[in-house]
Amino acid sequence: MLEHAGAVTITDHPMKERTAMATPTVAPSPNGSKVPTPAAPNRVVVLLAGAKVDKLAVLRATLRALQEEERRLTSEVAAYLEAGGLAAIQGDRAVARFETRRIQKIDPQLFIELVGPRAAEAMTVSVTAARRLAGTADLEAISETSEQRALRVELIGGAS
């Protein structure tokens, strides 16, 4: 498929070629964003999109594998530092060392007392913790629920 200034060359058959104007439509999503979609999907677009779905699935699988390896290596390097009582470990291209970060945790009750009802503007509620404290039914009664679209991509039949 060739795209140029709104014109699209469509090949449904190797010996036949036709040109059509590409007119993207905008489909509203449940969360209010607008997602451009092709006006009339054809076989070539679907084949190209299928290849992109495959590539996306492989990239996501690769990212997951890299994240797992990063966690494993982080744990190993941290263990080497601690076991050896070392300040740092240096490789050819990088150095690893522990550093101390300051983490501030604000007491919610004292914060509410400090700023009053406006405290709600700065606070968030963990849904998991709230369910544990109040129960699902009571939370449903006081909550706003919305939906968010997510693209799920799965490899078919153990393909990699």
Instruction: Tell me the mean pLDDT in the region 123-128.
Output: 92
Least Cα distance to 79 among 101, 98, 92 occurs for: 98
pLDDT in tens, 66-86: 999 999 999 999 999 999 999
Same-domain status, 94 and 116 = no
Is 7 part of a structural domain of the chain? no
Q: How confident is the model at residue 47 (pLDDT cuts 50, 70, 90)?
A: confident
Backbone angles phi, psi at 86, to 5 degrees: -90, 150
Cα–Cα distance measured from residue 156 to residue 143, given in angstroms and rounded to the nearest whole number: 37
Is 1 part of a structural domain of the chain? no
Asked if 61 contacts 160 with a C-beta cutoff of 8 angstroms, the reply is: yes
CA within 13 Å, CB half, 105: 1
Residue 136 belongs to domain spanning: 108-141
Cα–Cα distance measured from residue 36 to residue 24, given in angstroms and rounded to the nearest whole number: 6
> Would you say the pTM of this structure is higher than 0.75?
no
Is it the case that residue 43 has pLDDT exceeding 80?
A: no
